[in-house]
Amino acid sequence: MEILRYAAFSDEPGGGNPAGIVLDAGDLDDATMQRIAAAVGFSETAYLTPTGPGRARVRYFAPIAEVAFCGHATIATAVALAERAGTGRLTLDSAAGVIEVGTVAGAGGIVATLVSVPPRVSEIPDDVAGALLGALRLTSAELDGALPIRVSYSGNHHPIVGVPLSVLDRLDQDQRALAALMAEQGWGATVAVVAGTGVGSDGNAEFEARNPFPPGGVREDPATGSAAAALGGYLRALRLVDPPARITVRQGRHIGRPGVLTVDIPAGAGGIAVSGRAVPML
């Protein structure tokens, strides 16, 4: 069995979000997959079991628990597979549903694109929102009123909290309190704390994000594909973009692993596309 290590949403091994990858996990049981994920120590390790031409079952394990869906490990897996078997389309059957993935070769290397399950966005009761802000050590006065708190589902439930960039830069959550709240609410992935940072040179709206990940035993995730898809669904549901639209999400700067996620938001109610590169880690 070969355990690969790739950094997703970066073209440098020291950037983006590291993922473990096992391309043929058909012989591994749950306990072994969990043990490997803990030993690898990245926020997720993906396990692929081929089930037919262009199709595979995928499972994702954080260091302390299995998660339904992981965007960055999907991107890393798709690039690793394309490097060995060629680019093209891949259908992944995950616990969250069917994830369609495509890879193309470009001048800078292979780019992978995943399409999430159709997102769902819902409001958070006031008392739960208050508890969330308390766990994040934020006050209502520090929020960005243009980005109201919601939960957005993209295969995982991601609370989305909008703040100015100056507030994002000093985020210092109470990890234990946040873990307890997320377990109580059934939020099994990250909290996406985001700041709108204007329009980039390509004309696309840009956001910066930080993603605490208590359910996975990780203080802060460097680049979160699932949360980026959730953000795209959130922006569409709240009519904060005019689809079809593209946004850029930057993440990981605060913990020394900067990454870039490209999010394409189609019209309608379908899945959100998240694209990026991935490179082997030495």
In the numeric block, which tokens belong to residue 182?
A: 């997320």
Catalytic residue among 44, 83, 208, 220: 44
Nearest to 150 by CA among 73, 75, 232, 67: 232
Q: How many helices (H) and strands (E) in the chain?
A: 6, 17
Q: How far apart are CA 99 and CA 70, in angstroms?
A: 11
Torsions phi, psi of 213, nearest 5? -135, 60
Q: Give residue 238's identity as a one-letter amino acid code.
A: L
Active site residue 44: yes
Q: What is the DSSP string of 15-49?
A: SSEEEEEES--TT--HHHHHHHHHHH-SSEEEEEE
Residues 6+ apart with CB under 8 A from 237: 119, 121, 150, 152
Bond into 63 cis (ω within 30): no
In the numeric block, which tokens belong to residue 159?
A: 């609370």
Catalytic residues: 44
